[in-house]
Amino acid sequence: MDYRDVYFNSINMHRADIADVFCEICGRPIADVHHINGRLGDLRTDPYNLVGVCRSCHKQCHHIGGSIDKEILTEIVLNRLER
């Protein structure tokens, strides 16, 4: 299964419904699925490693010294998955 499908399953949505999914950081329409701890091995499809983001927030996730760090992303994912 593709990591994007894993993410959409984790939020009880289908990939075809992307227009109805919003960035978990800022609330804008989702554009990407970010891997918090990289894409190697099992992390590629681990729902605890995936967060839906808009393009702007995705750039901030990759920007060294950016305002969006792994701790913030991990907290967002834990809140989503452990409801």
Hey, where are the domains in the chain?
3-81
pLDDT digits (tens, 9 = 90+) for 25-79: 999 999 899 999 888 888 888 889 999 999 999 999 888 777 788 899 999 999 9
End-to-end CA, the chain? 24
Q: According to the model, what pLDDT value does residue 65 have? A: 72
pTM above 0.85? no
